[in-house]
Structure 1
Amino acid sequence: MSEVKPVDFNGYLEAERLQVEEALERAVRRIERRDDVTADEAAVIRYGVMGGGKRLRPILCVTAYVASGGCRSASVYDLAASVELVHAYSLMHDDLPCMDDAELRRGRPAAHIEHGAVTAVWGAAKLIPLAAIQALEAARLLGCEEALARSVSKTLMRAAGGGGMVGGQWMDLMGEGRALGPEELNRLHQMKTGALLAASLEVGSVAAEASDKVRTALLEYGSAVGLAFQIVDDILDETSSSEALGKNPSDAQLQKSTYTSLHGLDGAKIRARAEIERALDALATARIECDELISLAHFVVERGR
């Protein structure tokens, strides 16, 4: 298993987060100027997108782009912002009364509490095609040829669709009130959580025109980190308060199967560490030397919220 090298990881995270925030502000301002977005929709989009968070997915996108030979620029952060637009939509829909019925997100009222359920539904739904446009335009600005730019956008949309997040959310809803086995639970979360997290790295590596070997390794890394992220989420839901998490730990109330209900706390921790080992092995096999990706993997299992 790869060891974390002495990098100023907290400084790296904060510097990257600030760049992502600037890119998200640019993206939201463009959305606010569109004729096909109402004032109410623009308001809920700003609320959902600019409400804070770790910004892990866009940071992974930029890090993968650089690890694949790309150079940092405003356009690569604009590309990474497209991933966060999809993530923001998913959280806004996740919290709806017809889904998880959560009132708290990132330490403040959920979007549907603040702006109403109808506005949250429509505003979040519009983020899906807007994210595709954002990815396409950013890839063009990075110098990608048209076919490659379209491939970047399609990669993001595949992760957001029925074979990814939407399909995973459906499985999650259908799984309420019944016990899921290990394979079914893994498949659910590989789609609901892992697909977008893995796509974050794939979008970055595709835009940088990485080799097939590097792209495959980063996709494997992302899949493993995504599963570890969900396992740790289940652990934190079991052990932390709403105040500490900044959201409602609702899985038990909704009678959902979790990694802790299936494996116990200690077993879930072992599973999370095993997934991180799988992620780091993928980097090592492809000889991807990137201290930041190693540190990001460890961060996923060591985070407190």
Structure 2
Amino acid sequence: MTGTTDVLTVDHLVRRFGDLTAVDDVSFRIAPGETYGLLGPNGAGKTTIISMVAGLLKADGGTIHVAGEEMKPDAVEPKRHLGLVPQDLAIYPELTARENLRFFGKLHGLRGSALNTRVEEVLEIIGLADRAKDRSKEYSGGMKRRLNIGIGLLHQPQLLILDEPTVGVDPQSRNSILEAVESLAVAGMAVLYTTHYMEEAERLCDRIAIIDGGRLQAEGTRDELIRLTGGTDTIRLRGSGDLQGAATQMRGLTGVDRVDADRSSLTLAVHEAPARVADVVATATAAGVRLADVEIARPDLESVFLHVTGKALRD
């Protein structure tokens, strides 16, 4: 045992493919009930990391422990504690959702009433109870993805690994998948979630690791990561009147770092924009500005990724 309550501990993980170091000294931990996100572009090393965490790929350096047991490709006990939902679908198209779940449940040792109960629970979690009797080949891409997640949940693992589970699905199915993932953390399951979608990481993850070039570039809660950029918000006012005069008065307001004015707008860099916007609007109005629009923009994970890596997430 590692002497920790964390479900997953990854310490100084390294993986090379020839001259390429795909994973370079990566360390992180996941606690029970925590959703931890690996956020990065395709090719960043996310899938290689989870392949080693799942015991599918041998590490060239470092250690992995799942529920206190050291994970290696030939290890058996730690694999009992995790569920893996890969990018590629792992379902039988000729079987119904219920039949798929029953088959995989038996592989995990479930039998009788325990198997029946768990299958029905999972069908509810993944939102397929009303389509349980339909063969999975008749499902949409999103429904197949949800069934894939259900298979990973069957044996109630302590750690569920989800590798880009919403790739290639429609918006409605994507939202259903995200809602299912949100319910898992509420139930106390630890989740390792890989994605290159910033909005998914922001919605789902308690803590986020930004991965690029095989290295962990930054880690923390959303707010902790945002603070790496300096944490300033933007308030943009559009209108007409004495914009230069308004800008001069706004520079003296609490929390305002900078004010720029042009012929039709004022742009302010401020701290905690929601708390400052009322004073900003009142000052503009008092200065004779006739406002047409007010916009608040707050830093996001795209800003953080650009700050720590020097490039946009989609580059």
Q: TM-score range by the shorter chain?
A: under 0.3
Structure having the higher strand fraction is 2
More helix by share: 1
TM-score (norm 2): 0.25
* Structure number, greater radius of gyration: 2
Normalising by the residue count of structure 1, what TM-score does the alignment of the two structures yield?
A: 0.25
